[in-house]
Amino acid sequence: MAGTGRLFAVDWGDKRIGLAISDELGMLASPVGILTRRAGKRPPLAELMRQAEELGATGYIFGLPLDPAGAETDRTREVREIAAKLAGRQALPIRLVDERFTTSSALRSIREQGGSTRGRKGDVDAMAACVLLESVLRAGAQGVELGELVENVAGDAGDGA
């Protein structure tokens, strides 16, 4: 997946979804904002797909929220379900990549740049997606593909969301 165009990273959260995009060469990652989730509403898959298309994405990288020991959680299962629904609705490849410590890295990065994180949760979420994407790009530059590919299971066209 690395070196095949622009990758669109997604940091899925309860309230916000952080987003980042790579350059065409797969060398640089940039935060591109957030999507806001509304409690009790369907996941914003259509908006996610619209933004990926608008940015010229050739694949998705979803952060997989494992617990500190690397075990699956309820959030991990939710992200797997969302990625599977997305795979059923469009043709771009989707990879799930361990996102442990991306938020703490994003917070550290913002502070190192002399910024405050107070009142900037959206910036932190977008930066966490950027940190995730940077790790994928670094690994790809060394010939390593991180994570696992989400298979588009025939007959699972999602729930129409």
Instruction: Give the model's pLDDT for residue 14.
Output: 87
Mean pLDDT of 58-73: 94
The model's pTM is: 0.84
Instruction: Give the model's pLDDT for residue 59.
Output: 96
**Could you tell me which residue, 113 or 92, shows the higher pLDDT?**
92
Instruction: Give the model's pLDDT for residue 159.
Output: 43
β-pairing, 16-22 with 29-36?
antiparallel
Helices (H), the chain: 45-54, 74-89, 102-112, 121-141
Strand order of the sheet with strand 57-64? 29-36, 16-22, 6-12, 57-64, 94-98, 148-149
**Domains of the chain in sequence order:** 6-64+71-149 (3.30.420.140)
As a whole number, the mean pLDDT across the chain is: 85
Mean pLDDT of 57-66: 95
Indicate whether 52 pLDDT > 90: yes
The β-bridge partners of 62 are 10, 96
Please write the tens of the pLDDT for every residue from 79-103: 999 999 999 999 999 999 998 866 6
Please write the tens of the pLDDT for every residue from 29-45: 999 999 999 888 899 99
CA distance 10 to 5: 16
Q: Characterise 18 by phi-psi region: left (phi > 0), alpha (psi -120 to 50), beta (else).
A: beta
Indicate whether 57 pLDDT > 90: yes
